[in-house]
């Protein structure tokens, strides 16, 4: 157990990410006490039952009043309103952060509401699953994953260092970049993949020539890999696409060009072009495994056989 980095941590929105931070922070002794707030009585009751916070309160104002570190863990589209709501109650010197999957819009929406007496250091842990809510979280979620900080220019260096130390203690590797670059990087490594997955799952479900039952039965041919991320939370993803429109449209344009090129190769029976493209992409998988960002096990290490 290390010496706590903060006295009181406030988590606003104890969902998948918020509850994972609470679990990891407690497991690592990163803070002395944890308070969390949720608008819904059901979520509060689950958090109490799980015993993952020291205090569970109904209002965000109450949650932040004694906190040294406040992390807003709600959908991107709600972050601005939460910032406005908590602003008058923040402790002088507190660090205010978030976990939103988009960063430029967060800086724009939250920043103006926050007083000069606090340090605003936006963050995005690039880790998650397709599940939601406090029961879905776990302490190991951030281990060996990256957490990107996007401090606005002029942010207090010590505050950035303290938040970095916090995420490092939770097992993450920290990287710092501008909000705009973050949004471009995530547009390709996360937002475009989700959009494509949502699309193809929809396409499969609308065919007249192939039934839904056939799609389900024969999904092990590859399709099922797409359904995982297409099962992610609709509110979260609606907000992300609305907030990162320009970068996503840019990546979609590139993707469409590349689809056209491969379509042409298929139409013309150009086996060499297909072979060349399919060979090139293997190296990327190898790189991801070498970078410790995926398991080398076949099929993601999915269970096979009777215990499927």
CB of 260 to ligand NAP, least distance (A): 26
Of residues 276-295, those binding a copy of itself (CB under 8 A): 277-282, 284-288, 290-295
Task: Please tell me whether residue 122 binds ligand NAP under the rule CB under 6 A.
Answer: no
How far is Cα 73 from Cα 71, in angstroms, rounded to an integer? 6
Q: Which of 128, 134, 151, 179 binds a copy of itself (CB under 8 A)?
A: 128
Stretch that binds ligand NAP, among 10-18, 151-159, 160-168, 242-250 (CB under 6 A): 10-18
* Residue 190 contact partner, candidates ligand NAP, a copy of itself, none, CB within 5 to 8 A by sort of partner: a copy of itself
* Residue 281 contact partner, candidates ligand NAP, a copy of itself, none, CB within 5 to 8 A by sort of partner: a copy of itself
Q: What is the largest CA-CA distance in the chain?
A: 67
Residues in CB range of 123: below 8 A, 6 or more apart:
71, 97, 98, 99, 147, 148, 149, 150, 163, 167
Q: Which of 4, 48, 54, 146 binds a copy of itself (CB under 8 A)?
A: 146
* Residue 96 contact partner, candidates ligand NAP, a copy of itself, none, CB within 5 to 8 A by sort of partner: none
Residues in CB range of 196: below 8 A, 6 or more apart:
226, 255
CB of 267 to a copy of itself, least distance (A): 6
Secondary structure (DSSP) of 140-169: TTTTT-EEEE-PPTT--HHHHHHHHHHHHH
Task: Please tell me whether residue 15 binds ligand NAP under the rule CB under 6 A.
Answer: yes
**Residue 2: DSSP 8-state:** P
Stretch that binds a copy of itself, among 34-42, 59-67, 103-111, 183-191 (CB under 8 A): 183-191
Q: Which two tokens stand for residue 227?
A: 């359904």
Residue with tokens 């926050």: 114
């Amino acid at each position: 157990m290390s010496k706590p980095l903060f006295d009181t941590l406030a988590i606003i929105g104890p969902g998948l990410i918020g509850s994972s931070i609470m679990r990891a922070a407690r497991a690592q002794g990163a803070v002395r006490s944890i308070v969390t707030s949720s608008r819904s009585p059901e979520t509060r009751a689950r958090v109490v039952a799980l015993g993952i916070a020291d205090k569970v309160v109904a209002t965000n104002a109450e949650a932040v009043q004694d906190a040294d570190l406040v992390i807003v863990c709600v959908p991107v589209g709600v972050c601005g309103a939460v910032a406005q709501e908590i602003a008058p109650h923040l402790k002088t010197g507190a660090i205010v952060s978030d976990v939103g999957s988009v960063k430029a819009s967060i800086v724009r929406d939250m920043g103006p509401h926050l007083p000069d007496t606090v340090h605003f250091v936006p963050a995005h842990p690039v880790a998650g699953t397709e599940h939601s809510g406090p029961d879905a979280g776990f302490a190991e979620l951030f281990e060996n994953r990256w957490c990107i900080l996007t401090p606005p220019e002029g942010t207090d260096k010590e505050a950035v260092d303290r938040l970095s130390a916090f995420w490092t203690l939770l097992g993450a590797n920290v990287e710092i970049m501008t909000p705009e670059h973050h949004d471009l990087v995530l547009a390709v490594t996360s937002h475009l993949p989700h959009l494509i997955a949502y699309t193809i799952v929809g396409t499969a479900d609308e065919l007249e020539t192939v039934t839904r039952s056939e799609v389900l039965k024969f999904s092990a041919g590859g399709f099922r890999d797409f359904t995982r991320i297409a099962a992610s939370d609709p509110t979260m993803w609606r907000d992300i696409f609305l907030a990162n429109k320009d970068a996503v449209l840019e990546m979609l344009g590139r993707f469409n060009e590349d689809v056209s090129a491969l379509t042409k190769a298929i139409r013309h029976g150009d086996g060499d072009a297909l072979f060349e493209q399919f060979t090139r992409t293997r190296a990327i998988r190898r790189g991801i495994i070498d970078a410790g960002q995926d398991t080398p096990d076949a099929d993601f290490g999915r269970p096979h056989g009777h215990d499927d």
